[in-house]
Amino acid sequence: MRIVLRSIRRFYNYYFHKEKEFARRLTTMLGFTPAYLTLFKLAFYHKSTFTSRDYAIANNERLEFLGDAVLSTIVAEYLFKKYPNSDEGFLTKMRSKIVKRNSFDDIADRMGLDLFLANYNQTRLSKSMLGNALEALVGALYIEVGYEKTKHYVIRRILRRYLDIHQLEEFDDNYKSQLLEWCQKNGRQIDYKVLAKYKSDKRDKFKVAVFVDGKKLGTADDFNKKSAEQMASERAMISLHIIGPNGQADAPAKAKKKSHKEEVDE
Where do the domains of the chain lie?
Answer: 36-170, 175-239
Q: What whole-number percentage of the chain has pLDDT above 70?
A: 88
Q: For residue 251, what pLDDT is reported?
A: 46
DSSP, collapsed to helix, strand or coil, labels residue 70 as helix
Check if the beta carbon of residue 69 is closer than 8 Å to that of residue 162: no
Q: For residue 183, what pLDDT is reported?
A: 96
Q: Give 256's pLDDT tier (boundaries 50, 70, 90).
A: very low
Which residues have C-beta within 8 Å of that of residue 95, sequence separation ≥ 6? 72, 75, 76, 79
pLDDT score of 169 more than 90: no
Check if the beta carbon of residue 125 is closer than 8 Å to that of residue 132: no
Q: What span, in angstroms and rounded, lies between the C-alpha atoms of 75 and 244?
A: 31
What is the per-residue pLDDT across 58-93, written as a single tens digit (0 to 9) for each?
A: 789 999 999 999 999 999 999 999 999 999 999 998
Average pLDDT over residues 151-165: 95
Indicate which residue of 61, 64, 105, 135 is catalytic: 135
Q: What span, in angstroms and rounded, lies between the C-alpha atoms of 117 and 24?
A: 16
Q: For residue 250, what pLDDT is reported?
A: 58
Q: Is 170 a catalytic residue?
A: no
The whole-model pTM stands at: 0.74
Q: What span, in angstroms and rounded, lies between the C-alpha atoms of 23 and 14?
A: 6
In this structure, whether the domain defined by 175-239 belongs to CATH 3.90.1260.10 is answered with: no
Q: Give 167's pLDDT tier (boundaries 50, 70, 90).
A: confident
Indicate which residue of 64, 68, 105, 169 is catalytic: 68
Within 13 Å, how many C-alpha atoms sit on residue 234's CB side?
A: 15
Within 13 Å, how many C-alpha atoms sit on residue 176's CB side?
A: 15
Q: Tell me which fold the domain 36-170 belongs to.
A: Ribonuclease iii, N-terminal Endonuclease Domain; Chain A (1.10.1520)
- Measured in degrees and rounded to the nearest 5, phi and psi for residue 36 equal -110, 80
- The neighbour count for residue 43, using CB atoms within 10 Å, is 26
pLDDT score of 261 more than 80: no
Q: Give 257's pLDDT tier (boundaries 50, 70, 90).
A: very low
Mean pLDDT value across the chain: 87
Average pLDDT over residues 218-245: 91
Q: Is 135 a catalytic residue?
A: yes
pLDDT score of 258 more than 60: no
